[in-house]
Amino acid sequence: MINGDPHEFLEHIYSGQDTPYKFEGEKYWFQGFNVEKGFYMEIFRCSPPYDYLWKYTGNSPLECMEEFQSVPIFNGKSFWEVEKDIEWVDD
């Protein structure tokens, strides 16, 4: 991971904190929060076309994190397959 450690990044987003990052030149925003029946996490693109890369509602933050790490949302690859190309940014 550029500008950080991937394990620290996962710990940061596990809590649902708003987290910007870049992947392949595009900036994305990761956020999560409690919902009526569990926990919700999402990632959306911060530049046109504004759209969602991923959305998930689970029973807990842990379930959401497990899903995030396993789904091929990064151009057909999972987080761990591309983490070296993800840049953790401040804003």
What are the tens digits of pLDDT across the range 13-65?
888 789 999 999 999 999 999 999 899 999 999 988 899 999 999 999 999 99
Token pair 């070296």 is found at 84
Report residue 91's pLDDT band, with 50, 70 and 90 as the boundaries.
low
Write out the two tokens for 6. 């991937």
CB-based contacts of 43: which residues, under 8 Å, 6+ apart? 28, 29, 30, 52, 53, 54, 55, 73
CB 38 within 8 A of CB 45: no
pTM above 0.75, yes or no: yes
